[in-house]
Amino acid sequence: MIKVNLDLLLVQRKKTLTELSEEVGITLANLSVLKTGKARAIRFSTLEALCKALDCTPGDLLEVA
């Protein structure tokens, strides 16, 4: 199972989901699906945009649980 650490990174970066949504151009609904772990897939372009916005690596954002 893959765990998405979006909540943790948002707290550490002092950003809201709304701010992140506006910064990367991803809807709140899609970020919410990702944040809750209900996403079945993620595009590399989305992963790259999230990592740039959160100043992290894919390994910081995703982990095997």
Residue 34 lies in a domain: yes
Residue 55 lies in a domain: yes
What is the Cα–Cα distance from 5 to 19, expressed in whole angstroms? 17
Residue 64 lies in a domain: no
What is the Cα–Cα distance from 4 to 38, expressed in whole angstroms? 10
| Structural domain total, the chain | 1
Full residue range of the structural domain in which residue 35 is found:
2-59
The CATH number of the domain where 13 resides is what? 1.10.260.40
Q: Which amino acid is at 2?
A: I
Per-residue pLDDT at 65: 85
What is the Cα–Cα distance from 32 to 34, expressed in whole angstroms? 5
Residue 40 lies in a domain: yes
- Segment (H or E) for 3: strand 2-4
pLDDT (tens digit per residue) in 10-64: 999 999 999 999 999 999 999 999 999 899 999 999 999 999 999 999 999 999 9
